[in-house]
Amino acid sequence: MSIEFRLYDNRTPFQKDPVQSRRERNPEAADTKRNQGTGVRSEKDSKETASMPRMIERIAHPANLETACRKVKANKGSAGVDGMGVEELSEYMEAHKEEISNGLLKGTYKPQPARRVYIPKPNGKKRPLGIPTVVDRVIQQAVSQQLSQVYEPVFSEYSYGFRPDRSAQQAVLQAMVYLNEGYDWIVDLDIEKFFDRVNQDKLISIIREQMNESEVLGLIRKFLKAGVMENGVKQKTEEGTPQGGPLSPLLANIYLDKFDKELEKRGLRFVRYADDCIIFTKSEKAAHRVMASVISWLKRKLFLTASAEKTRVVRPTKGKFLGFTFWKGSDGWKCRPHDDSKKRLKEKIRSVTVRRKAAAIPLAVTFTRINQIMRGWINYYRIGAMSMWLKETFGPWMRHRVRVVILKQWKRRGTIFTNLWKLNGRISHPFPKSYVFAQSMTHCGWYRLGNNEVVNMILNPHILSLKRKDRPGLVDPWKYYSCA
């Protein structure tokens, strides 16, 4: 007897539908999810809704605006088109809070255009951002705080980007769960210019399914249509949701939640972080079939185009997700930083240790910056395997560059000898004075001098890590990764 399956469904006959499993775990929540957007309300829902303030009232409430103001100030950021900085925000909000609140309630609040800036991308291109004014950022944050309460309960559990108590690391760990279940073919989906191509009418229509308040929908549309100011010229924003404001990530998740629900309905294994999505199958044939199907669905339903160059079917070892790649050990699939991520770390350290620049500033500044870069990078990639790379490759390379900077600051060969001789007594097997002198006086370039035997052994990881009055110690990346 043969059993025919749907082409896009990777489940075996004995696997439960994820949606059905969730309904069994929490039938009341599942019914709520099923009824949302359909106009079906329980008697309990109707009574609760009648007693609750309208969404626009919750947004405009002084306590909500005050919380939003604190978050905008904490996030800092540059000024918008009006030039007002976050340091002026509290005073302005205190003086105009009633005016702003009334403007929101009456629908007369009008956002200003965002200031267009460009930031470099890892591939050398530039990403356009729209920086709203600090006041508009407060209003966007106030909207996001209330709208999140509607959407967080219904978002997919496999969506990890820009959500409370969720992270990129959790997304990568979930990907490894799928790989170790045997779903080791990946559809690496890349949506072309997603934030610039969001269909605004479709977005408003999707929001209306969950929250049909004209005042709030109108306010969101105003932000979408506010435009951007570039070189003193206002440009219309007829499509997209400009990156740079607090509301944009939530709107992106709302838009792509339709895609999440479609993948769940099909029983597919997937992980999404903002517009970065990977889908897992058990065979190459199934992966190609799924890829063709989801590309078509995105085009028809959400008016989004998948990049023909970047969307592909890959094996885990050839893929890249949120800066990680995957490898298979004797006890299953694991993750580690992608080579591109390692390269970017080295580029950052290289920029801080350029000899001519670094030699002209206090060593404390250089050490502090290096420590910040390394700690931030290691904290992000900590779930990945990188112990040997940090110990045998990156650590020695980084310390070599630091030693060259130190020697360059000492400048004269006589000073180099004097300082090395002082430190020589701190190592377990000190060098003879004549040998330290000979190595210090070697006529070679700074880079070679920084790696000779004496300099390498005296300015060792332990000596560099010691904290002094005039500077912090240099963090050993391998120890920081191993001990934390």
Domain boundaries, the chain: 55-321, 338-483
Read off the pLDDT of residues 87-102 as tens digits, 9 standing for 90 and up: 999 999 999 999 999 9
pLDDT at 484: 63
| For range 46-58, the mean pLDDT | 74
Q: In Å, how far from its chain's centre is CA 155?
A: 19
The Cα 458–Cα 392 span in angstroms is 18
The Cα 330–Cα 319 span in angstroms is 20
Residue 391 has pLDDT above 70, yes or no: yes
Can you read off the two tokens belonging to residue 430? Answer: 């000190």
Averaged confidence pLDDT in the chain: 89
Phi, psi (deg, nearest 5) at residue 466? -70, 130
The Cα 435–Cα 417 span in angstroms is 10
pLDDT at 61: 96
pTM reported for the whole predicted model: 0.85
pLDDT at 304: 98
Burial of 278 (0-12, 13-18, 19+ CB in 10 A): buried
51, containing H or E segment: helix 43-51
Question: What pairs with residue 116 in β-bridges?
Answer: 130
Read off the pLDDT of residues 103-147 as tens digits, 9 standing for 90 and up: 999 999 999 999 999 988 777 788 889 999 999 999 999 999 999
CATH domain 55-321 topology: RNA-directed RNA polymerase lambda-3 (3.90.1850)
- Asked whether 89 and 142 are in contact (CB, 8 A), the reply is no
